[in-house]
Amino acid sequence: MRGWLSPIAIITAATAAYFGGPFLRFAAVYILGWSLAVFGAWLLLRYGLVNFGIGASYALGAYAAGLMYRYLHTADLAVHLLAAVGAAGAWGALNGAVGIKTRGIYYSLLSLSLSMVLYGVLVKFYTVTGGSDGLYMPDPRLLGVRIGTAGLLALAALLAAAWAALGEVFGRSYAGHVAAGIKINELRTSALGADVGRHILISSVLASIAAGLGGLIVGYSTSHVSPDFAYWVTSGKMVVGGLIASFLPWTWGFVASAALYQAVELYSLQFAYPELVVGGLLLAILAAWRLYYRR
């Protein structure tokens, strides 16, 4: 029963952020959006799949809305949500097809290669995508009414709560047990009758959709989307976030992980080598994890 408190906790935290002022509202929207991509990375890690191309799905969710606004002049939230789900879901199906045939480092490298192909397309096709400058993202509107930061925060909180609920269902379901089996010993899991390929394909689509919706939320919050959304460094950060979330015992761990990572990254920017601060955090978490499981 306690696991079902996760969606309530996310909505409660978002409500508190709303009353905390403009900066906290913006930060909450950004973190909740980014956390959806972390959820996608976390879900694939449950299968033992390290996807260094999750940023491509993150980018497609935002670009779907940006391109629709640029060429079709629509800023309707419902249309953008459908476009983000469709674009990211199609990309997830492509990655799922890759995941059916490859594992380990080969999967990671292939997913990375696909994302960098998309990155190249976004940069080179300047007349369509805006190149390295990216695209302007409109203020989201619902039925012609601007929803503003408050509406965007509510949307981000509802999406994060929905994915937290999905994570709770997944952890208790047959699919969650199959994921654990695939990660530990895929051959035996397949011998027991599980359709490994189908499970990986479905999980890849769901993870990609989560990341795409996250990209859409972040694009809305910053009013801008660029090819950096699809860059391998962005994907690496999300994988690190998913790794941290996998150490946390809560269903809403992907939100806590995103908040922790973003806070540390923001703090590290004051130093000459911020990467060392972030790397030190990861090493500290890994050390704590080893100590915990040695008990």
H helices within 46-76, ranges in order?
Answer: 54-72
Q: What is the CATH number of domain 2-294?
A: 1.10.3470
- At residue 293, the 3 state secondary structure works out as helix
Give the per-residue pLDDT at 274. Answer: 76
- At residue 40, the 3 state secondary structure works out as helix
Amino acid identity of residue 275, one-letter, is: E
Query: Residue 170: which of 60, 46, 275, 257 has the closest Cα?
Result: 46
The values of phi and psi at residue 147, to 5°, are -90, -15
Give the per-residue pLDDT at 147. Answer: 82
How is residue 41 written in tokens?
A: 């990375």
Is residue 1 pLDDT above 50, yes or no?
Answer: no
Is residue 248 pLDDT above 80, yes or no?
Answer: no
Domain ranges of the chain: 2-294
For the question of whether the overall pTM of this predicted structure is more than 0.95, the answer is no
Mean pLDDT for the chain overall:
85
Is residue 186 pLDDT above 70, yes or no?
Answer: yes
Give the per-residue pLDDT at 64. Answer: 92
Is residue 288 pLDDT above 50, yes or no?
Answer: yes
Give 282 or 141, the one with higher predicted confidence: 141
Give 36 or 193, the one with higher predicted confidence: 36
Give the per-residue pLDDT at 38. Answer: 93
